[in-house]
Amino acid sequence: MQTLNVNLGERSYPIYIGAGLLGKQDLLGKHVKGSQVLIVTNETVAPLYLVKTQKMLTDFQVETLILPDGEEYKNLATLNKIYSKLLEIKFNRNCTLAALGGGVIGDITGFGAASYQRGVNFMQIPTTLLAQVDSSVGGKTGVNHELGKNMIGAFHQPQCVLIDTNTLATLDERQFAAGLAEIIKYGLINDADFFSYLATNMDLLLAKDRAVIASAVQTSCHNKAQVVALDEKESGIRALLNLGHTFAHAIESGMGYGKWLHGEAVASGMLMAADLSVKMGWLKENEFTQIKDLITRANLPVRGPGMEVEKYLKIMALDKKSANGIIRLILLKAIGQATVVSEYSNNLLRETLKEFG
């Protein structure tokens, strides 16, 4: 087991990474404050890992809530089911919520914890690759609105993150590939050596080689933890973690939540960002080709669903990074060097959306 730390003063917490961690008695209990624990999971994950998680918490009053599976359920109606359950079982403000599942479960459970009785504790137990390397770390919680993804939420840090890499064995190829998009992102924004490592080892990653997966997960979590420690609430450098996400959120919202997986949308969004970076005269053509090749090898889309340019622009204008009517984008000066940009050519953006959107 490897342990990383997210250093946020009194809100600091550990990330436990290893194979076979689910079921180990000593890992979760020490992070529970109070005596009441609600495990929130979904219909897909519960049959696989709920019993193992319950066995880690035998010293507490443990209740469970099983939600439907899918991005289309990441909304206020589903969030209300968490509140109703907590109130029905009379959980107090010293209770702890445990999010067992992928990014949707982590985000919605975290937001439930952030807002129930003005804030209670929670723990992240991510079971998908995307959640393990991205959404479980950093304290971003929330739900979607029909007009925009993740537009309702709060920053609320977990007590710990427990990553059992054995859970990746049960992921289908599409879900696994979706997680690879976020891994590739870390190489693009600030770690060119990691990008090269991924290019060398992509075939082993796709084969779910244990050593390569462990290295990729650890490096991704390390990179994110460092950025979050410097900018917890995304007032500066943390925005770089959104490379491709402004385009991606437009795809997810515009196509209907659940049609495209988040990682699939991020992959095509990163290619759009890379293409615009080339058009701006920053990213070299051969670097764009390297990015496109790696995303293709990861079984991810390099083009969006073909939405109209005006639809993209309308949805992107609602992005949380937008300010004073200007869509701010994360673009690339080079592989491993991302930057936040407010000044760019709208005509070039339109060309990118037309070609790759």
Q: Of 259, 256, 253, whose CA–CA distance to 317 is shortest?
A: 253
Active-site residue identified among 31, 74, 249, 328:
249
Active-site residue identified among 10, 30, 90, 118:
118
What is the residue type of 35? S
| Active-site annotation holds for 233 | no
| Active-site annotation holds for 210 | no
Active-site residue identified among 74, 224, 279, 328:
224
Active-site residue identified among 74, 140, 156, 279:
140
Q: Of 37, 175, 170, 49, whose CA–CA distance to 100 is shortest?
A: 49
Active-site residue identified among 262, 264, 287, 328:
262
| Active-site annotation holds for 328 | no
How many CB atoms are located within 10 Å of the residue 256 CB? Answer: 11
| Active-site annotation holds for 140 | yes
The gap between the terminal CA atoms of the chain, to the nearest Å, is 41
Active-site residue identified among 238, 264, 287, 328:
238
Q: What does the alpha-carbon distance between residue 91 and residue 243 come to, in Å, rounded to a whole number?
A: 39
CB 155 within 8 A of CB 139: yes
| Active-site annotation holds for 31 | no
Q: Of 349, 178, 191, whose CA–CA distance to 280 is shortest?
A: 349
Q: Are strands 13-18 and 2-6 parallel, antiparallel or unpaired?
A: antiparallel
For 354, half-sphere exposure in the C-beta direction (CA atoms, 13 angstrom radius) is 6
| Active-site annotation holds for 75 | no
Active-site residue identified among 234, 252, 264, 287:
234
Q: Give me the DSSP letters along 30-87.
A: GG--SSEEEEEEETTTHHHHHHHHHHTTTTSEEEEEEEPPSGGG-SHHHHHHHHHHHH
Active-site residue identified among 242, 252, 264, 279:
242
Quote the crossing angle between the two packed helices 192-206 and 210-230, to the nearest 10°. Answer: 140
CB 113 within 8 A of CB 122: yes
| Active-site annotation holds for 33 | no
Give the distance from CA 353 to its chain's centroid.
24
Those residues with Cβ within 8 angstroms of residue 236's Cβ, 6 or more apart along the chain or in another chain: 230
| Active-site annotation holds for 11 | no
Q: Is 124 exposed, middle or buried (0-12, 13-18, 19+ CB in 10 A)?
A: buried
Helix (H, G, I), strand (E, B) or coil at 19: coil
**Dihedrals φ, ψ of 346, to 5°?**
-65, -30
Catalytic residues: 118, 140, 182, 224, 234, 238, 242, 245, 249, 262
